[in-house]
Amino acid sequence: QQQVKQSPQSLIVQKGGISIINCAYENTAFDYFPWYQQFPGKGPALLIAIRPDVSEKKEGRFTISFNKSAKQFSLHIMDSQPGDSATYFCAASKMGGNQFYFGTGTSLTVIP
């Protein structure tokens, strides 16, 4: 059972463009939604996270948009750079829970 669905599987964006990755979840008990960035040979690294009491969170070029009624959240990377080329995973967890449920990942390539 896929708790968190992520799309697209891969994404190619021109340098300076906006990268958008989408995730959807089913379990309304989830209340913490992080995004992780993973470079080849490395573990996932926390990029930005949001809780459902806000609809948007911005940190530098990275923004999470959260739609609680639609049970969807997305990552926007503004002014995408070649150094942003990596695999991005969304995840979700619930209050007091131990397990993080990961999306299937999006391979982002930013071309110069």
Partner 1 sequence: EPEVTQTPSHQVTQMGQEVILRCVPISNHLYFYWYRQILGQKVEFLVSFYNNEISEKSEIFDDQFSVERPDGSNFTLKIRSTKLEDSAMYFCASVRGDNQPQHFGDGTRLSIL
Count of residues in contact with partner 1, rule CB under 8 A: 25
Rule CB under 8 A: say whether 37 interacts with partner 1.
Answer: no
H helix runs in 19-109, sequence order: none
Q: Six-digit token pair at 105?
A: 């990942």
Rule CB under 8 A: say whether 108 interacts with partner 1.
Answer: no
Q: Stretches 10-18, 41-49, 58-66, 75-83: which one binds partner 1 (CB under 8 A)?
A: 41-49
98 vs 7, 16, 38, 39, CA distance in Å? 25, 38, 21, 25
Question: Which one of 21, 23, 25, 44 is in contact with partner 1 (CB under 8 A)?
Answer: 44
Q: Which of residues 4-33 bind partner 1 (CB under 8 A)?
A: 31-32
- Closer residue to partner 1 (CB): 45 or 111: 45
C-alpha atoms less than 13 angstroms from C-alpha of 62 in its C-beta half-sphere: 14
- The reply to whether omega before 82 is within 30° of 0 (cis) is no
State the Cα–Cα distance between residues 81 and 4, nearest whole angstrom: 27
Rule CB under 8 A: say whether 45 interacts with partner 1.
Answer: yes
Rule CB under 8 A: say whether 1 interacts with partner 1.
Answer: no
Q: Is the dihedral of CA 35, 39, 44, 47 positive or negative?
A: negative
- Closer residue to partner 1 (CB): 70 or 95: 95
Binding site for partner 1 (CB under 8 A): 31-32, 34, 36, 41-46, 49, 51, 89, 93, 95-105
